[in-house]
Amino acid sequence: DGGITQSPKYLFRKEGQNVTLSCEQNLNHDAMYWYRQDPGQGLRLIYYSQIVNDFQKGDIAEGYSVSREKKESFPLTVTSAQKNPTAFYLCASSNQRGTEAFFGQGTRLTVV
């Protein structure tokens, strides 16, 4: 079955540590996105990428980094520079024409 897989589902991080969230898709989609969602809020765009080895900052990129070495994969690193990283992180992908866009199940990150 085609889809988007995010792992892990839950992640706990100590303050000052970097953590990497995984996002893999087998839909042959070109574009991939990372969003942050805080409780009761909408989705805010962190980074997005339409082709391999190229990506753009979204609205809240500070404290985050990404890579796009393969079409199928778009990992997000939450760095120690991110002041308030506790949130729900969602990854999405869309086709070349932008007529479909699907999401992974999300990763809940908690700083302890």
Partner 1 sequence: AQKITQTQPGMFVQEKEAVTLDCTYDTSDPSYGLFWYKQPSSGEMIFLIYQGSYDQQNATEGRYSLNFQKARKSANLVISASQLGDSAMYFCAMREGTPQKLVFGQGTRLTINP
Binding residues for partner 1, per CB under 8 A? 31, 33, 35, 41-45, 48-51, 54, 56, 58, 88, 90, 92, 94, 98-103, 105-106, 108
The CB-of-75 to partner 1 minimum distance in angstroms stands at 18
Cβ proximity to partner 1: between 58 and 80 the closer is 58
Do 83 and 19 form a contact (C-beta atoms < 8 A)?
no
For residue 99, what are the contacts with CB-CB under 8 A and spacing of at least 6? none
DSSP string covering 62-95: TTEEE--SBTTB--EEE-TT-S---EEEEEEEE-
Nearer to partner 1, 20 or 41 (CB): 41
Give the nearest distance from C-beta 43 to partner 1 in angstroms. Answer: 4
Nearest to residue 29, comparing CAs of 63, 83, 70, 75?
70
Closest distance to partner 1 from the beta carbon of 11 (Å): 14
Q: Tell the smallest beta-carbon distance from residue 16 to partner 1 (Å).
A: 27
